[in-house]
Amino acid sequence: MTLGLPGIQSTLHPAGPQAQRILDLFDVFLIVTTVVFVIVVVLTVAAVVKGRRRREAIGEDTRGMKLAVGTGAVLTIAALITLLVTSVATGRAVGTFGGGNPDQMEIVVTGHQWWWEVTYPDPQASNTVRTANEIHIPTGQPILLRLATRDVIHSLWIPRLHGKRDLIPGRINKIYIQADAPGVFRAQCAEFCGLQHAHMSLVVIAQTPGDFMQWKIHQQAPANDPATPQQAHGRELFLDLPCINCHAVTGTDAYATLGPDLTHVASRKTLAAGTLINNHGNLAGWVSNAAAIKPGAQMPPIPMNGPELQDLLAYLENLK
Amino acid sequence: MTEERGQTEAAMEATWAPARGFLGWFTEVDHKRIGLRYIVTALCFFTLGGIEAAIMRLQLAGPERHVVGPDFYNQLFTVHGSTMMFLFAVPVMEGIAIYLVPLMVGTRNVAFPKLNAFGYFIYLFGGLFLYTMFFCGAGPDAGWFAYTPLSGPQFSPGKRIDTWSQMITYTELSALVVSVEITVTAFKQRAPGMSLNRVPLFVWSMVVTSFMIMFAMPAVMVDSGYLALDRLVATHFFNRPEGGDPIFYQHLFWFFGHPEVYIIFIPALGFISSIVTAFTKRKVFGYSVMVASLVFTGFMGFGLWVHHMFATGLPQLGQSFFTAASMMISIPTGVQIFCWIGTIWHGRLTIRTPMLYVLAFFFDFLIGGLTGVMLASVPINWQVHDTYFVVAHFHYVLIAGAVFPLFGALHFWFPKWTGRMYGEGLSRVAFWLVFIGFNLVFFPMHILGMIGMPRRVYTYQPQLGWGGLNQLATLGVLPLALGILLMFVNFALSRRRGAPAGPNPWDADTLEWSVSSPPPPYNYLHVPTVAGGHALWDAAPDQPVVVGMRTDHREVLVTKAVDAEPSHREELPSPSIWPFLVALTTGITLCGAIFYAWWFTMGTVLTAFALIGWFWPKREPLPEAS
Amino acid sequence: MKRLAILLAACSLLACHREQRSLVPRAADARRTTPVRVSDLQPGRPQPAVTAMKNPYEGNAWAVSEGQRLYSSYNCAGCHFHGGGGIGPPLMDSEWLYGSTPANIYTSIVEGRPNGMPSFGGHIPEQQVWQLVTYVRALGGLEPSGATQPRAEEMQARRAEEPK
């Protein structure tokens, strides 16, 4: 079925029960519509052949033809009813999946122009985990995602786990996802949201429950303190430069929420909402002039000379 | 006898003489000339929209290309979508209707000729306004449905979205004007004998379209008006914190937006019925079923707008209802396709270029219709909504479903409009280029959507693996563009050098084929009468005509709505400059208001003056009643 | 055809300043804010006084909108509210304690002012200061109305019907 197509963000490569159900439904539709297509094309070709051979048109609407067209209509209706019933059944199964479990794990996903804020709420505020552009989930259980937005309408789409759901101002939408096995699934914003809509993606990382707990406990810890003088100078720069206007690093004076939380930025796989691999060169380029990579990005260019940049990077790369 | 006929002809020529000269261009009220203007203008916008599409395809040909930047790309797809929907698809169908409906029902002009002229100028100004702003770097950039809050005051600074919302107002105004004319012409000016059960299917399709326009367009005018108010005078229709609602915008938009698709598609069904009738030499199978299907489609078209909003998270039960409605609408279309197949089966088929386009419609529209059934399903919709799958779907529906029949219609009626035949050989080459190119461009997009490519992205990253299919799609632009260019070249050459066509080159059945090509300004020397569902085929050798109409005034015969019995005579206006002036002042009002609010007031006063001029009573005595 | 070409060329030349969007900042935009001179006495060749500085974004709609975003991001509203004033002076009236020219407002933001206005120089890049200047002037009705949007997507300080 997958025909060797690339599967990184594909609806044809489901990795969880929700996407699997939808793909099964799609297959039913694909088979029925293909059959209809073949029948109608064959009929058209036959009619063209018949019509071209005829010397004189049959002017009357014959009983036979009426019967044929009537049968066609009845078969169409029957096919549609079949599809409707399967579709509603699947819709019900997908829509009610995961509900009714009181100690459901909840993740809040908030859309920003043009990145994703991901929060793991905890009754104890200090245990709340904030990260960005990465959703970590434990495998084998339904996870509730609450979807909100800070600005315009976005749409969260993780094709390998579920269909899309919009993030709408003033509303909280909910979907349940579940991954069957550990893996990394790319996701992307699917509702046009402005200049960098194309570069507003994220990754969903499914881990075994044990690995997930380990990750979460690590994320709950405050940021690493600088280990070298260079990193210490980097932190000074971070707190002095415009970085502090928008970003937060727990354990320091930086607690703004306009940009992604950087407490554990070095532990993430990507930068700039799934646009860049998180490595030294990319981080340097992004920090120096983000909008040169994503034109229109709201992070301003930071006034720094070369050594200052290296110190800042050393600090950021220590935020594991 | 011939001398008498010659005298009548001379008198009619003088009475119905078209406006001439430079000024004449602004005063024309002849439905044929205005109809052709609509068609030519719409085809110009089609070309512009096509160029925009080609630039987008170049940008997407490979990952992370830099042909254009995100800002310009967003303007490109917004202007492309708006152009194709509002400045090409709807007006071109209306233009053909304005030309053909009066001829097909056997009358001399549309019901309100001055209003007709006004409609054209308003449409032209709307299009010019959009493109002037686009060339000045202020093209709208929030997508052709401009969702709030992205299109609202905070996230779309400048005049870009205001331009869009006013352009909507202009073109919808023009569409409303046309729908009123077509409806009245079709119901009140039919030739005696053309009772409702004898009306050509094309006229039926335009009547259904017109009614849909009347109910759908006000919704979007309100919507774009509210958006303009939010943006210009700080109202809060769509501002969530002050009690407005962005979802309300979407409901209003799609309450128009979905019927809009049928407003474009139903005229195409009319083209197909005309073409199939002419090339199979028999009436379309199941006339009353065809009419019922058109009317049913028209009603159902209003009941399925929510399938554009399944991803917003509306309640499950309501969504199932809209799924059922969206699937049901494929029944009447399916029935019509079966009827046409039956017609071809029992007819004596000759295949010329218009028929080739109809057969291409059967093949490709079917794909679009069937993917439409998939989109009607809520769970599948969650996956493919706003992806290239949808882009592929609506291009299959709109290009294969409406533009292919349109191209067929352009070839079919070209001899009537110009008096000359198009070059058949060249047109077939063009057809195959268009057909192959179209499928090359759009078929891969289905797969791209399934493997995760969202729509409206200005680029994508190499590791996603979408490069190959995108490259294929971009390659397809070449034959497609070449085919369309060849078609235009063929028309341009044939217009001067084509073989003379005569009144009825296809031996077709409807009334327009009974007059010379191109038709005289008064259409019919004597208003014809009709003896059956196919006016020319069913006509007796001595089919009577209506005599006794005045030749020194522009008179048309008004008949009863159902059975077309003659009722009275009505005088139609002569060429007039006022429609142009009212369109101009309305244009100033709408353009000016987005820059400076007082222009609205000043423009309204100007428009009031222009309207007084329009309705100023004439001094000459009314024709005597008889 | 030729006339059309000329028309198009004229259009693109006129491509209006109001609609331009500087999406990719230049190197100069990243520099730390220009020092403000309080005295005309300078060593060496005289450099222009702050009052001679020109706002690159005067009348630019994108800059007004970016300024609006930054105004709320940087919590200007914390003191000035949405222009109506509170802890800090109002910005939407015609009284300007320290002048209303772009250079004056630039100075107010970069240097701060007595009795509470903090100095943001060095904390906000030059480009953003100018965007804020443009927005603050728009609040006061000093930018062309064609470049100004009437409201943000938030609760409003005053009703739309009330004049500024």
pLDDT tens digit sequence for B363-403: 999 999 999 999 999 999 999 999 999 999 999 999 999 99
- pLDDT tops 80 at residue C45: no
Number of residues that make up chain A? 320
For range A151-162, the mean pLDDT: 94
Confidence of residue B626 (pLDDT cuts 50, 70, 90): very low
Bridge partners (DSSP) of residue A146 are: A108, A174
C51: phi then psi, degrees, rounded to nearest 5? -65, -15
Contact yes or no for A245 and C25 at CB 8 A: no
Contact yes or no for C160 and B236 at CB 8 A: yes
Cα–Cα distance, B130 to B118 (Å, whole number): 19
Bridge partners (DSSP) of residue B454 are: B387
> What pLDDT shows up at residue B380?
94
> What pLDDT shows up at residue A59?
82
Residues of B in contact with A8 (CB under 8 A): 452, 463-465
The region of weakest confidence among A89-103, B40-54, B146-160, B432-446 is A89-103
Choice between A46 and B320, residue whose per-residue pLDDT is larger: A46
Q: Give me the total of CB pairs closer than 8 Å, taking one residue from chain A and one from chain C.
A: 47
> What pLDDT shows up at residue B320?
85
Q: Among candidates C154, C19, C1, A264, which has minimal Cα distance to B153?
A: C154
> What pLDDT shows up at residue C40?
67
- Reported as half-sphere exposure (CB side, CA atoms, 13 A), residue B449 has a value of 26
- pLDDT tops 90 at residue A18: yes
- Sign of the torsion angle spanned by Cα atoms B71, B76, B81, B86: positive
Q: Which are the contacts of B47, defined by CB distance < 8 A and separation ≥ 6?
A: none
Q: What is the dihedral of CA B548, B549, B550, B555, to 10 degrees?
A: 170
Segments in B84-135 forming alpha helices (H) = 90-105, 113-135
**Does A163 contact chain B (CB < 8 Å)?**
yes
Residues of B in contact with A54 (CB under 8 A): 346-349
Cα–Cα distance, B404 to B435 (Å, whole number): 9
Joined together, the tokens standing for residue A302 give: 């930071």
Nearest-CA distance B359 → chain A (Å) = 8
Nearest-CA distance A241 → chain B (Å) = 27
> What pLDDT shows up at residue A86?
94
Q: Which are the contacts of B542, defined by CB distance < 8 A and separation ≥ 6?
A: none
The region of weakest confidence among A57-61, B14-18, B141-145, B535-539 is A57-61
Confidence of residue C24 (pLDDT cuts 50, 70, 90): confident
Q: Which are the contacts of B227, defined by CB distance < 8 A and separation ≥ 6?
A: B146, B148, B151, B152, B161, B165, B237, B238, B249
Alpha-carbon A217 to chain mean position: 24
- pLDDT tops 80 at residue C160: no
Contact yes or no for B231 and C23 at CB 8 A: no
Q: Among candidates B354, B434, B443, which has minimal Cα distance to B396?
A: B443
Angle at B323 between CA B321 and CA B324, to 5 degrees: 65
Cα–Cα distance, A276 to B515 (Å, whole number): 68
Cα–Cα distance, A100 to B6 (Å, whole number): 87
Confidence of residue C1 (pLDDT cuts 50, 70, 90): very low
Among A236-250, B477-491, B551-565, B583-597, name the most confident range. Answer: B477-491
Asked whether B469 and B423 are in contact (CB, 8 A), the reply is: no
Pairing state between β B545-546 and B527-528: antiparallel
> What pLDDT shows up at residue C92?
86
Pairing state between β A134-138 and A201-207: parallel
The region of weakest confidence among B309-318, B448-457, B503-512 is B309-318
Q: Among candidates A90, A40, A249, which has minimal Cα distance to B365?
A: A40
Confidence of residue C159 (pLDDT cuts 50, 70, 90): low
Asked whether C70 and C128 are in contact (CB, 8 A), the reply is: yes
* CA closest to C27 among chain A residues: A301
Nearest-CA distance A93 → chain C (Å) = 37
Residues of A in contact with C122 (CB under 8 A): 240
Joined together, the tokens standing for residue B155 give: 């996230």
For range C31-46, the mean pLDDT: 68
* CA closest to B238 among chain C residues: C153
Q: Among candidates C85, C82, C76, C88, which has minimal Cα distance to C152?
A: C82
Cα–Cα distance, B47 to B28 (Å, whole number): 26
Closest Cβ opposite residue B136 in set C14, C149, C153: C14
Mutate to test the interface with B, among A20, A62, A65 (most CBs of B within 10 A): A65
Asked whether A159 and A23 are in contact (CB, 8 A), the reply is: no
**Does A146 contact chain B (CB < 8 Å)?**
no
Asked whether B520 and B33 are in contact (CB, 8 A), the reply is: no
Contact yes or no for C16 and B132 at CB 8 A: no
Cα–Cα distance, A57 to B507 (Å, whole number): 14
Confidence of residue A187 (pLDDT cuts 50, 70, 90): very high
Cα–Cα distance, B26 to A257 (Å, whole number): 60
Residues of C in contact with B158 (CB under 8 A): 18-19, 61-62, 147
Asked whether B120 and B97 are in contact (CB, 8 A), the reply is: no
| Share above pLDDT 90 across residues of chain A, in percent, rounded to a whole number | 74
Closest Cβ opposite residue A193 in set B150, B311, B382: B150
Cα–Cα distance, B256 to B213 (Å, whole number): 9
| Share above pLDDT 70 across residues of chain A, in percent, rounded to a whole number | 99
Tens digits of per-residue pLDDT, A216-227? Answer: 999 999 998 999
For range A126-151, the mean pLDDT: 93
* CA closest to C157 among chain B residues: B242
The residue assigned the tokens 């969260």 is: A156
Tens digits of per-residue pLDDT, C54-91? Answer: 888 888 999 999 999 999 889 898 899 888 888 889 99
**Does A198 contact chain C (CB < 8 Å)?**
no
The residue assigned the tokens 């070309």 is: B47
Q: Among candidates B466, B534, B545, which has minimal Cα distance to B504?
A: B534
> What pLDDT shows up at residue C10?
55
Joined together, the tokens standing for residue B303 give: 């009941």
**How crowded is residue B279: how many other Cβ atoms within 10 Å of its Cβ?**
25
Asked whether B10 and B552 are in contact (CB, 8 A), the reply is: no
**Does B137 contact chain C (CB < 8 Å)?**
yes
Put simply, the chain B residues between 249 and 288 with a CB less than 8 A from any chain C CB are none
Cα–Cα distance, B174 to B162 (Å, whole number): 19
DSSP structure class, residue B399 = I
The residue assigned the tokens 């009714």 is: A100
- Reported as half-sphere exposure (CB side, CA atoms, 13 A), residue A152 has a value of 25
B556: phi then psi, degrees, rounded to nearest 5? -125, 160
- pLDDT tops 50 at residue B140: yes
Tens digits of per-residue pLDDT, B179-222? Answer: 999 999 999 999 999 999 999 999 999 999 999 999 999 999 99
Q: Which are the contacts of B178, defined by CB distance < 8 A and separation ≥ 6?
A: B94, B97, B98, B116, B119, B210, B213
Cα–Cα distance, A211 to B95 (Å, whole number): 66
Cα–Cα distance, B579 to C130 (Å, whole number): 48
Q: Quick check: helix, strand or coil at residue C85?
A: coil
Asked whether A112 and A119 are in contact (CB, 8 A), the reply is: no
- Sign of the torsion angle spanned by Cα atoms B442, B443, B449, B451: negative
Contact yes or no for C11 and B136 at CB 8 A: yes
For range A252-264, the mean pLDDT: 91
Asked whether C132 and C69 are in contact (CB, 8 A), the reply is: no
- Reported as half-sphere exposure (CB side, CA atoms, 13 A), residue B288 has a value of 4
Number of residues that make up chain B? 626
Asked whether B372 and B304 are in contact (CB, 8 A), the reply is: no
Closest Cβ opposite residue B450 in set A8, A10, A62: A10
- Sign of the torsion angle spanned by Cα atoms B35, B37, B41, B44: positive
Cα–Cα distance, B311 to B329 (Å, whole number): 21
Tens digits of per-residue pLDDT, B577-624? Answer: 999 999 999 999 988 888 888 888 999 999 999 999 999 887 766 555
Residues of B in contact with C20 (CB under 8 A): 137
Asked whether B476 and B438 are in contact (CB, 8 A), the reply is: yes
